[in-house]
């Protein structure tokens, strides 16, 4: 069998991830650490000879963000791409729940209240049964350790022959931080920290304290932190949450406090927690900055001695915390590493990819290793499918197929209009990389606020990313190896004097989450950016994901049209068709 299927998610869990997590917390208010909350972001990935050939998150098909549960639609889409039935596919799941993991999880709680131990055992068993239920749908199922799946998704697709591999998330089966050494086809675990040392959970609780949704809104805290940069008022508090044993291990005692008392304790030292709809104050910016800086310092303290011992000069990153592009930018600039690779689907969908890679290697022996291309791995749609979607909304839309669509699109963008851009195969992972994007002119100072208010319907402090041609990138941004900036996973510094030319895509601290676009990776999108450069001298467009706050990125033409009609977007490009709203 030439294909291998990888899965994330848990059957029987609520499709709405955070409703399930809140219900779990309500059911066990005394349990300090989350158990049974590692089933979010269901996805399916099809691997062939060491490379992903099709991948899609279940949320893009169910239209519920961070969908939990069985990735039935996603798995079926992968099977159709392979041309065989789901039951025939060798399948790997991204969790390996066993008694050893439960023992380590209980050991980490260090003699907690018997009621807590009972609740942890019950939730662990529930999670294990849910994972086991996969066998009803996927008879050829094997399981892979969660962090090993994350590590494989980054290292095996990095193109490196030798590298440190850093995995960080809220928690896997029993670990929250893992460091591996990748050498040739092998991954060797060097360091593992338990859930009671989870930097991801600490950041999640800080997210909650700041009035945002944990496991969803951490990127808002990261964006807010830039406004408090330089204010270290709260840094000692957050660094004080970590009790270090040398430079290799620490625990976070606050994670062993039940959430309500934790909030009370923090409020005594930090002031009251922000409520979700409260205004953002300078104190909140400084809190976010302290939390972000504490995270960065802790990660550097952990990896510096390991890199000093092994001298790899390469770093791979995966796990949910690896989506923190500010942290990744610090690691890029710290001088420890010559090259980096951040798995573009660093969250749990990426662990599904890694599980498939691990299982393929176990089944077939060594398979080729190569650097992952830009992950245009999802569904594409035909001209007939687009036409049917347009006809279904003919009363609200007008459309044409211009002879030179790219120039017409840039004409609109040049006059300050905001365009939905839909082409080719959908991206895998949380970043829109030019196939399901919203595009605008980065040179206009008002464009960030306009897109935030009228289109994305999100907080005004959140930045937007630039897409730039590979040929023009170095003139605007401090970059090292262009290929490590293709996936919009690192925040980089803007070159002196260039920020005023692109104010809509430079954050308040002078950084940008840049996407470098090579011609061979996305010819049409590269051509659009190149023409923008010839017109304006700036080969850059503001690029943000094609969705509104609280919804997944659009997948189908119907999704794109609904989003277009429900927002302040001025125009929509569906492959070779230019769409506008009727008056």
> Which amino acids are annotated catalytic?
40
Closest CA to 273 of 257, 255, 258, 261: 261
* Total Cβ atoms within 10 A of residue 495: 14
Closest CA to 59 of 68, 50, 51: 68
Token pair, residue 477, equals 């941004």
Token pair, residue 59, equals 């949320």
Say if residues 196 and 31 touch (Cβ distance below 8 Å). no
Say if residues 74 and 61 touch (Cβ distance below 8 Å). yes
Phi-psi region of 463 (alpha: psi -120 to 50; beta: other; left: phi over 0): beta
* Total Cβ atoms within 10 A of residue 21: 23
* Total Cβ atoms within 10 A of residue 18: 17
* Total Cβ atoms within 10 A of residue 183: 15
Say if residues 355 and 92 touch (Cβ distance below 8 Å). yes
Q: Tell me how far apart the alpha carbons of residues 223 and 387 are, in angstroms, rounded to a whole number.
A: 39
Phi-psi region of 250 (alpha: psi -120 to 50; beta: other; left: phi over 0): beta
List the helix and strand counts (H, then E) for the chain.
20, 22
Chain mean position to CA 99: 30
Under DSSP, is residue 251 helix (H, G, I), strand (E, B) or coil? strand
Burial label for 106, CB within 10 Å (0-12, 13-18, 19+), is: middle
Cα Rg for the chain, rounded, in angstroms? 23
Burial per residue of 360-392, b for 16 or more beta-carbon CB atoms within 10 angstroms, e otherwise: bbeeeeebebeebbbbbbbbebeeeebeebbee
Distances, alpha carbon 373 to alpha carbons 157, 229, 517, in Å: 9, 34, 11
Burial label for 408, CB within 10 Å (0-12, 13-18, 19+), is: middle
Residue recorded with tokens 């008056």? 583
Sequence-distant (≥ 6) Cβ neighbours of residue 171 within 8 angstroms: 33, 34, 38, 195, 198, 200, 201
Distances, alpha carbon 240 to alpha carbons 236, 290, 304, 526, in Å: 6, 11, 20, 47
With vertex at residue 489, the alpha carbon angle to CA 491 and CA 287, rounded to the nearest 5 degrees, is 55
């Amino acid at each position: 069998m030439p294909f291998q299927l990888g899965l994330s998610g848990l059957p029987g869990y609520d499709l709405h991830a955070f409703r399930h997590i809140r219900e779990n917390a309500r059911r066990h208010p005394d349990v300090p650490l989350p158990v049974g909350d590692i089933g979010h972001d269901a996805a399916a990935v099809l691997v062939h000879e060491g490379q992903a050939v099709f991948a899609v998150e279940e949320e893009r098909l169910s239209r519920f963000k961070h969908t939990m549960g069985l990735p039935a639609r996603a798995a079926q889409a992968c099977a159709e791409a392979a041309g065989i039935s789901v039951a025939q596919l060798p399948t790997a799941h991204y969790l390996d729940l066993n008694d050893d993991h439960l023992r380590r999880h209980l050991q980490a709680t260090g003699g907690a209240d018997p009621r807590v131990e009972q609740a942890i055992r019950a939730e662990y068993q529930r999670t294990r049964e849910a994972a086991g239920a996969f066998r009803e749908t996927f008879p050829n199922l094997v399981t892979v350790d969660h962090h090993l799946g994350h590590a494989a998704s980054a290292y095996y697709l990095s193109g490196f022959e030798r590298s440190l591999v850093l995995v960080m998330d809220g928690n896997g089966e029993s670990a929250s931080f893992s460091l591996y050494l990748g050498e040739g086809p092998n991954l060797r675990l060097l360091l593992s920290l338990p859930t009671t040392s989870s930097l991801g959970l600490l950041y999640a609780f800080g997210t909650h304290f700041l009035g945002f949704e944990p496991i969803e809104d951490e990127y808002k805290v990261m964006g807010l932190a830039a406004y408090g940069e330089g204010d270290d008022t709260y840094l000692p508090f957050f660094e004080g949450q970590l009790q270090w044993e040398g430079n290799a291990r620490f625990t976070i005692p606050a994670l062993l406090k039940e959430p309500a008392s934790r909030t009370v304790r923090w409020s005594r030292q930090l002031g009251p927690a922000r409520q979700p709809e409260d205004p953002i104050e300078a104190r909140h910016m400084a809190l976010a900055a302290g939390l972000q800086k504490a995270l960065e310092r802790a990660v550097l303290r952990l990896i510096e001695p390991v890199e000093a011992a092994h001298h790899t000069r390469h770093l791979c990153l995966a796990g949910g915390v690896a989506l923190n592009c500010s942290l990744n930018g610090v690691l890029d600039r710290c001088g420890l590493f010559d090259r980096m690779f951040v798995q573009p689907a660093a969250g749990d969908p990426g662990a599904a990819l890694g599980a498939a890679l691990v299982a393929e290697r176990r089944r077939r022996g060594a398979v080729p290793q190569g650097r992952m291309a830009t992950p245009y791995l999802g569904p594409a749609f035909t001209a007939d499918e687009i036409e049917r979607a347009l006809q279904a909304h003919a009363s609200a839309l007008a459309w044409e197929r211009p002879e030179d669509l790219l120039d017409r699109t840039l004409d609109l963008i040049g006059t300050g209009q905001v365009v939905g851009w839909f082409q080719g195969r959908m991206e895998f992972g949380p970043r829109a990389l030019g196939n399901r994007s919203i595009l605008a002119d980065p040179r206009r100072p008002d464009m960030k606020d306009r897109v935030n208010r009228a289109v994305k319907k999100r907080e005004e402090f959140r930045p937007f990313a630039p897409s730039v041609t590979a040929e023009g990138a170095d003139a605007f941004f401090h970059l090292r190896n262009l290929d490590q900036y293709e996936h919009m996973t690192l925040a980089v510094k803007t070159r002196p004097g260039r920020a005023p030319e692109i104010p809509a895509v430079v954050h308040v601290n002078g950084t940008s989450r840049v996407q470098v676009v090579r011609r061979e990776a996305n010819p049409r999108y590269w051509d659009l950016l190149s023409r923008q450069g010839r017109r304006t001298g700036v080969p850059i467009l503001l690029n943000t994901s094609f969705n509104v706050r609280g919804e997944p990125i659009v997948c189908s033409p119907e999704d794109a049209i609904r989003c277009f009609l429900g927002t302040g977007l001025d125009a929509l490009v569906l492959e070779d068709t230019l769409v506008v709203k009727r008056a």
